Structure 1
Amino acid sequence: MPKIVILTGAGISAESGLGTFRDEGGLWARHRIEDVATPEGFASNPQLVVDFYNARRAQAAEASPNAAHAALARLEAEMPGDVLIVTQNVDALHEKAGSQNVLHMHGALTSALCAACEHRWNAPLAMTVGEACPSCERPTARPDIVWFGEIPYHMEEIEARLSEADIFAAIGTSGNVYPAAGFVQAAAAYGALTVELNLEPSLVVSQFDETYSGLASETVPKWVGGLLNA
């Protein structure tokens, strides 16, 4: 039975209305990354950061999974093997579509984190600056998001799963954010078949064995169908 590791990025959620870093006019276009996605930005202006993620959380709560999310949930449910989704996305669209084996390496909008004791809890739709941690009661709550300069979550488990993978697929990723951009090289070194499904080629497209170009909602269901019917 095959072991499959799937990396998903912003491109898979774009068709559900959730913007990427590069979208003009979206939430990200109105702010510098340094201001809203770094520990230094939070320390400098916590209100700006909290407001930014409140807006993202509200947007994500209204979004619905698209055909690509549904296809991956189907793959997990029907594939006679082991399917793991590692996502760079902080939305919950994989879970909304029915996927259960999901690792959020960059955190989740639905979670709050205590900067003092690292306790996590379900975030309210609108967080406030100075919100108290329900565990240690210190006013040190922050969005549970991995910001630039911080170490992504679940790295040991991800590396272990890559070493066992028969197939590694990257969907909707740019290939310019590490460590995720290095997953294809790691998986290939362990002998996995590597596949990229992207609207446009990533910066590491040359490292993949197979590539499929197009909208995720079109390419992913076709790829999943091929796996299930093989």
Structure 2
Amino acid sequence: MLSKELTYLLEKFLQGDRQLMVLTGAGVSAESGIPTYRGVEGYWTKGSRNYKPEEIGTLRFFQKKPEEVWKFALYRRTICKRAQPNLGHTSIAKLENIFRDRFTLITQNVDGLHLKAGNSDHRTYQIHGDIDHIRCSLNCTRTLYEFPQEIGEKKQGEGLTGAEWELLRCPECDAICRPNVLWFDEFYNERYYRSESALKIAGKTGLLLIVGTMGTTNLPNQIFDTVRFKQGIVVDINLEDNLFSEEIRDSRTGFLLRGKSSELLPQLVDEIRKLRGWQPFEESI
């Protein structure tokens, strides 16, 4: 059950024209069986060596050992492709169906489960990239290439064949391509991660739902600060407290909902539907 205070503010929000933004992290997909990148299962073991995500998930490491990074990336891609959306994902897709052009999804997840659940490409900002595209590691071109479908599922530690390695070469300069993901030693940009567009929409956001993220990266923090500065409502849906919690707890327009997103998001969707009379917003022209 949502509190009376939150229900009241949701009703006021629905009467206006500001944006609904949903910001998601690894906690949403963890319920679909995808290990969080920072958890124990996010480590990469090579022989007796355990590489931390902050080490192997870097451009510097890729430049030294590209095959190791690709083996790690392909194994995680296999896990992601096998996974199915859970009720958290489908509830967020329902929110887009309700709000339409008042809706934006900002996700730190690269697994594609939001799109598989029904969210649209043009309203989904994958600010850490995605597993379905690759790009030149030397930036000879800014083109994104579709991931080669000839490369199938990979077990943990399984290497690439010579033919598969050739499929990962840039069509323009023949350099090895890289996963289209944001690594730990890189910065956000508009071209690949739509960072400027995300912040622009944050300035128009009246309701921000934070789901399954600890708030440890820069752009989500900027989004949160922007929404708070614009006096938007913030609802944090997580299993435990995160870097946003203290400020939300001290705010009259901030709410902490603790529990599984697959359980709490359906309740939130039902409440919004009741307040809306089950009618979606009109598409803007």
TM bucket normalised to smaller: over 0.9
1:45-124 to 2 correspondences below 5 Å = 45-79=65-99, 82-100=102-120, 101-115=123-137, 116=139, 117-124=141-148
Alpha-carbon separation, structure 2, partners of 1:207 and 1:89: 24
Q: Is 2:147 aligned against 1:132?
A: no
Question: How large is the RMSD of aligned CA atoms in angstroms?
Answer: 1.8
Aligned residue type for 1:47: E
Say if 2:56 and 2:69, in contact at 8 Å, map to a contact too: yes
Match of 1:217 among 233, 257, 262: 262
Say if 2:18 and 2:204, in contact at 8 Å, map to a contact too: no
Alpha-carbon separation, structure 2, partners of 1:151 and 1:23: 22
Greater C-alpha radius of gyration: 2
When residues 10 and 80 of structure 1 are mapped into structure 2, their CA distance, relative to the original with a 3 A threshold, is closer
SS in 1 for 2:203: helix
2:43 corresponds to: 28
Deviation at 1:21, TM superposition (A): 3.0
1:228 corresponds to: 273
Aligned residue type for 1:123: F
Alpha-carbon separation, structure 2, partners of 1:35 and 1:118: 25
SS in 2 for 1:79: helix
Say if 1:22 and 1:29, in contact at 8 Å, map to a contact too: no
2:240 corresponds to: 200
2:178 corresponds to: 142
Residues matched between the structures, number? 228
Aligned residue type for 1:196: D
Q: Can you list the C-alpha shifts for 1:121-177, whole angstroms capped at 9, x where unaligned?
A: 11125475563223x142231111110121221111011000001111110001222
1:9 corresponds to: 25
Aligned residue type for 2:201: R
Alpha-carbon separation, structure 1, partners of 2:247 and 2:271: 22
Deviation at 1:29, TM superposition (A): 5.9
Deviation at 1:108, TM superposition (A): 0.3
Question: Which is further off, 156-165 or 31-40?
Answer: 31-40
Say if 2:44 and 2:72, in contact at 8 Å, map to a contact too: no
Structure 2 unmatched ranges of 5 or more: 1-16, 46-50, 152-159, 249-253, 276-285
Question: Which is further off, 147-156 or 12-21?
Answer: 147-156
Say if 1:75 and 1:228, in contact at 8 Å, map to a contact too: no
Identity rate, percent:
28
Aligned residue type for 2:22: I
Question: Which is further off, 82-91 or 175-184?
Answer: 175-184
2:13 corresponds to: none
Q: Is 2:214 aligned against 1:174?
A: yes
When residues 47 and 35 of structure 1 are mapped into structure 2, their CA distance, relative to the original with a 3 A threshold, is farther
Q: Can you list the C-alpha shifts for 1:70-95, whole angstroms capped at 9, x where unaligned?
A: 00101111236511100000011000
Say if 1:4 and 1:166, in contact at 8 Å, map to a contact too: yes
Deviation at 1:229, TM superposition (A): 1.9
Say if 1:68 and 1:221, in contact at 8 Å, map to a contact too: yes
The normalised TM-score by structure 1 is: 0.92
Structure 1 unmatched ranges of 5 or more: none
SS in 2 for 1:20: coil
When residues 28 and 224 of structure 1 are mapped into structure 2, their CA distance, relative to the original with a 3 A threshold, is farther
